[in-house]
Amino acid sequence: MYKITFKMISPICFIDLPVFDGIIAYAYCKEKLGKNFVQKLSIDNLIDFSEMPIKKHKNGYFIASQMFFDNNINFNLSWRKRWESKYDFLVAGKSRKIRTNMGEFKSYDMPLNLYSIPEVYFIFDSDNISEVERLINKYIVGIGKKTSQGYGFYSDYFIEKIDIDFDKKIYRPIPLSLLPNDIKEYEIKFISWKPPYWFQNNFELCAIPKL
Protein backbone atom coordinates (compact mmCIF):
# COMPACT_ATOMS: atom_id res chain seq x y z
CA MET A 1 0.00 0.00 0.00
CA TYR A 2 1.08 3.57 -0.67
CA LYS A 3 0.32 7.08 0.51
CA ILE A 4 0.62 10.03 -1.87
CA THR A 5 0.81 13.52 -0.36
CA PHE A 6 0.31 16.73 -2.34
CA LYS A 7 1.67 20.06 -1.06
CA MET A 8 -0.99 22.61 -2.02
CA ILE A 9 -0.32 26.17 -3.14
CA SER A 10 -3.87 27.32 -3.90
CA PRO A 11 -7.31 26.65 -2.35
CA ILE A 12 -9.10 23.47 -3.42
CA CYS A 13 -12.61 23.58 -4.86
CA PHE A 14 -14.82 20.53 -4.38
CA ILE A 15 -18.29 19.35 -3.42
CA ASP A 16 -17.66 15.64 -2.89
CA LEU A 17 -14.17 14.72 -1.77
CA PRO A 18 -12.00 13.67 -4.75
CA VAL A 19 -11.12 9.97 -4.98
CA PHE A 20 -7.64 9.02 -6.16
CA ASP A 21 -8.75 6.55 -8.83
CA GLY A 22 -10.89 9.35 -10.27
CA ILE A 23 -7.79 11.53 -10.59
CA ILE A 24 -5.82 8.76 -12.28
CA ALA A 25 -8.84 7.94 -14.46
CA TYR A 26 -8.82 11.51 -15.80
CA ALA A 27 -5.14 11.19 -16.77
CA TYR A 28 -5.67 7.68 -18.16
CA CYS A 29 -8.60 8.91 -20.25
CA LYS A 30 -6.54 11.78 -21.70
CA GLU A 31 -3.81 9.30 -22.56
CA LYS A 32 -6.15 6.83 -24.27
CA LEU A 33 -8.36 9.31 -26.14
CA GLY A 34 -5.58 11.69 -27.19
CA LYS A 35 -6.93 14.35 -29.54
CA ASN A 36 -10.45 12.97 -29.10
CA PHE A 37 -10.48 13.86 -25.40
CA VAL A 38 -12.91 16.63 -24.42
CA GLN A 39 -13.39 18.15 -20.98
CA LYS A 40 -17.10 17.32 -20.90
CA LEU A 41 -17.13 13.64 -21.77
CA SER A 42 -20.31 11.77 -22.64
CA ILE A 43 -21.39 8.15 -22.77
CA ASP A 44 -19.96 8.10 -26.30
CA ASN A 45 -16.48 8.56 -24.78
CA LEU A 46 -16.65 5.74 -22.22
CA ILE A 47 -13.51 3.63 -22.04
CA ASP A 48 -12.36 0.62 -20.04
CA PHE A 49 -10.55 1.74 -16.88
CA SER A 50 -9.59 -1.75 -15.72
CA GLU A 51 -6.02 -1.40 -17.03
CA MET A 52 -5.23 1.69 -14.95
CA PRO A 53 -2.13 1.32 -12.75
CA ILE A 54 -4.29 1.05 -9.60
CA LYS A 55 -5.08 -2.33 -8.09
CA LYS A 56 -8.70 -3.46 -7.97
CA HIS A 57 -10.34 -4.96 -4.93
CA LYS A 58 -11.94 -8.39 -5.31
CA ASN A 59 -15.32 -6.64 -4.93
CA GLY A 60 -14.75 -4.52 -8.03
CA TYR A 61 -13.74 -1.10 -6.71
CA PHE A 62 -10.26 0.36 -6.99
CA ILE A 63 -8.00 0.23 -3.94
CA ALA A 64 -7.75 4.01 -3.75
CA SER A 65 -9.01 6.35 -1.07
CA GLN A 66 -10.85 9.61 -1.07
CA MET A 67 -8.88 12.75 -0.21
CA PHE A 68 -7.84 13.22 3.42
CA PHE A 69 -6.37 16.23 5.20
CA ASP A 70 -5.59 17.27 8.76
CA ASN A 71 -6.86 20.84 8.87
CA ASN A 72 -8.39 23.47 6.60
CA ILE A 73 -9.99 26.89 6.36
CA ASN A 74 -13.31 26.80 4.51
CA PHE A 75 -14.60 29.90 2.68
CA ASN A 76 -16.88 30.79 -0.21
CA LEU A 77 -16.35 32.89 -3.31
CA SER A 78 -18.28 33.30 -6.53
CA TRP A 79 -17.30 32.86 -10.16
CA ARG A 80 -18.89 35.71 -12.07
CA LYS A 81 -19.22 36.46 -15.75
CA ARG A 82 -21.09 39.56 -16.89
CA TRP A 83 -21.51 41.38 -20.19
CA GLU A 84 -20.42 45.01 -19.87
CA SER A 85 -21.98 47.69 -22.03
CA LYS A 86 -18.58 49.16 -22.90
CA TYR A 87 -18.07 46.16 -25.19
CA ASP A 88 -21.26 46.74 -27.21
CA PHE A 89 -19.16 48.00 -30.11
CA LEU A 90 -17.80 44.48 -30.61
CA VAL A 91 -21.20 43.29 -31.83
CA ALA A 92 -22.37 46.52 -33.47
CA GLY A 93 -24.29 45.74 -36.64
CA LYS A 94 -24.42 42.02 -35.80
CA SER A 95 -27.10 41.99 -33.15
CA ARG A 96 -29.74 44.35 -31.83
CA LYS A 97 -29.67 42.82 -28.38
CA ILE A 98 -27.18 40.97 -26.21
CA ARG A 99 -28.88 38.02 -24.53
CA THR A 100 -27.30 37.45 -21.12
CA ASN A 101 -29.66 34.68 -20.04
CA MET A 102 -28.43 32.12 -22.58
CA GLY A 103 -25.78 31.38 -25.18
CA GLU A 104 -22.15 32.52 -25.31
CA PHE A 105 -22.86 35.79 -23.48
CA LYS A 106 -24.79 34.19 -20.60
CA SER A 107 -24.12 35.79 -17.22
CA TYR A 108 -22.98 33.62 -14.32
CA ASP A 109 -22.79 34.07 -10.57
CA MET A 110 -21.73 30.62 -9.41
CA PRO A 111 -20.78 30.06 -5.74
CA LEU A 112 -17.55 28.16 -5.15
CA ASN A 113 -16.88 26.14 -2.02
CA LEU A 114 -13.16 26.56 -1.37
CA TYR A 115 -10.77 25.03 1.16
CA SER A 116 -7.35 26.36 2.09
CA ILE A 117 -5.42 23.18 2.93
CA PRO A 118 -1.61 22.93 3.30
CA GLU A 119 -1.42 19.23 2.40
CA VAL A 120 -3.79 16.53 1.19
CA TYR A 121 -3.16 12.82 0.85
CA PHE A 122 -4.62 9.67 -0.66
CA ILE A 123 -4.04 5.97 0.04
CA PHE A 124 -3.81 3.49 -2.83
CA ASP A 125 -2.23 0.30 -4.04
CA SER A 126 -0.42 -0.32 -7.31
CA ASP A 127 1.93 -2.72 -9.07
CA ASN A 128 3.31 0.09 -11.23
CA ILE A 129 4.19 3.18 -9.22
CA SER A 130 6.31 4.62 -12.02
CA GLU A 131 3.25 4.66 -14.30
CA VAL A 132 1.17 6.40 -11.60
CA GLU A 133 3.89 9.04 -11.34
CA ARG A 134 4.12 9.41 -15.12
CA LEU A 135 0.37 10.00 -15.49
CA ILE A 136 0.37 12.56 -12.67
CA ASN A 137 3.42 14.40 -14.01
CA LYS A 138 2.02 14.54 -17.55
CA TYR A 139 -1.65 15.29 -16.99
CA ILE A 140 -2.49 16.36 -13.41
CA VAL A 141 -1.87 20.03 -12.63
CA GLY A 142 -4.31 20.31 -9.72
CA ILE A 143 -6.73 18.54 -7.39
CA GLY A 144 -10.49 19.08 -7.37
CA LYS A 145 -12.69 21.31 -9.51
CA LYS A 146 -11.97 24.58 -11.35
CA THR A 147 -8.25 23.92 -11.80
CA SER A 148 -8.51 25.96 -15.03
CA GLN A 149 -9.19 28.96 -12.80
CA GLY A 150 -6.14 28.33 -10.62
CA TYR A 151 -7.70 26.32 -7.80
CA GLY A 152 -6.23 23.10 -6.44
CA PHE A 153 -2.68 23.68 -7.67
CA TYR A 154 0.14 21.82 -5.92
CA SER A 155 3.88 22.52 -5.83
CA ASP A 156 5.07 18.97 -5.26
CA TYR A 157 4.03 15.49 -4.20
CA PHE A 158 5.72 12.45 -2.73
CA ILE A 159 4.80 8.78 -2.45
CA GLU A 160 5.70 6.54 0.49
CA LYS A 161 4.99 2.95 1.44
CA ILE A 162 2.57 2.39 4.33
CA ASP A 163 1.15 -0.59 6.19
CA ILE A 164 -2.67 -0.38 6.03
CA ASP A 165 -5.39 -3.00 5.73
CA PHE A 166 -7.87 -1.53 3.25
CA ASP A 167 -10.56 -3.98 4.42
CA LYS A 168 -10.57 -2.91 8.08
CA LYS A 169 -11.85 0.64 7.57
CA ILE A 170 -13.77 2.71 5.02
CA TYR A 171 -11.37 4.80 2.96
CA ARG A 172 -13.52 5.43 -0.11
CA PRO A 173 -17.14 5.19 -1.34
CA ILE A 174 -18.20 1.53 -1.33
CA PRO A 175 -21.70 0.36 -2.33
CA LEU A 176 -23.59 -0.98 0.68
CA SER A 177 -24.10 -4.23 -1.21
CA LEU A 178 -20.31 -4.75 -1.30
CA LEU A 179 -19.56 -3.65 2.26
CA PRO A 180 -17.79 -6.18 4.54
CA ASN A 181 -20.01 -7.14 7.48
CA ASP A 182 -17.40 -6.39 10.14
CA ILE A 183 -17.10 -2.67 9.29
CA LYS A 184 -19.41 -0.48 11.41
CA GLU A 185 -17.91 3.02 11.33
CA TYR A 186 -19.19 4.86 8.26
CA GLU A 187 -21.70 7.32 6.89
CA ILE A 188 -24.12 6.70 4.02
CA LYS A 189 -24.41 8.84 0.91
CA PHE A 190 -25.84 8.48 -2.60
CA ILE A 191 -22.64 8.95 -4.58
CA SER A 192 -20.63 7.60 -7.50
CA TRP A 193 -18.17 4.84 -6.61
CA LYS A 194 -16.14 4.10 -9.75
CA PRO A 195 -14.83 5.87 -12.87
CA PRO A 196 -16.14 7.73 -14.65
CA TYR A 197 -17.46 9.48 -11.54
CA TRP A 198 -19.86 11.68 -13.52
CA PHE A 199 -21.69 8.70 -15.07
CA GLN A 200 -25.23 8.38 -13.73
CA ASN A 201 -25.16 4.55 -13.71
CA ASN A 202 -22.24 4.58 -11.23
CA PHE A 203 -24.25 6.27 -8.45
CA GLU A 204 -25.44 4.10 -5.56
CA LEU A 205 -26.05 4.28 -1.83
CA CYS A 206 -22.52 3.95 -0.52
CA ALA A 207 -20.64 3.76 2.74
CA ILE A 208 -18.21 6.67 2.97
CA PRO A 209 -15.54 7.50 5.56
CA LYS A 210 -16.91 8.96 8.79
CA LEU A 211 -15.30 12.37 9.26
How would you write the pLDDT of the chain (211 residues) with one tens digit per residue? Answer: 999 999 999 999 888 899 999 999 999 999 988 887 766 666 666 788 999 999 999 999 999 999 999 876 665 555 555 666 666 666 665 555 666 556 566 665 566 778 888 999 999 999 999 999 999 999 999 999 888 888 999 999 999 999 999 988 999 999 999 987 778 889 999 999 999 998 889 999 999 998 7
Q: In this structure, are 44 and 88 located in the same domain?
A: no
Q: In this structure, are 121 and 98 located in the same domain?
A: no
In a domain, 178, yes or no: no
Q: In this structure, are 44 and 148 located in the same domain?
A: yes
Q: In this structure, are 19 and 81 located in the same domain?
A: no
In a domain, 143, yes or no: yes
Q: In this structure, are 44 and 68 located in the same domain?
A: yes
Q: In this structure, are 54 and 32 located in the same domain?
A: yes
Q: What is the pLDDT of residue 97?
A: 64
Q: What is the pLDDT of residue 109?
A: 56
φ, ψ of residue 189 in degrees (nearest 5): -150, 145
Q: In this structure, are 90 and 137 located in the same domain?
A: no
Q: What is the pLDDT of residue 142?
A: 95
Q: In this structure, are 49 and 125 located in the same domain?
A: yes
Q: In this structure, are 34 and 62 located in the same domain?
A: yes
Q: In this structure, are 132 and 58 located in the same domain?
A: yes
Q: What is the pLDDT of residue 26?
A: 92
In a domain, 175, yes or no: no
In a domain, 206, yes or no: no
In a domain, 193, yes or no: no
State which residues form the domain around 92.
75-114
Q: In this structure, are 132 and 162 located in the same domain?
A: yes
Q: In this structure, are 65 and 157 located in the same domain?
A: yes
**Overall domain count for the chain:** 2
Q: What is the pLDDT of residue 204?
A: 94
Q: What is the pLDDT of residue 124?
A: 97
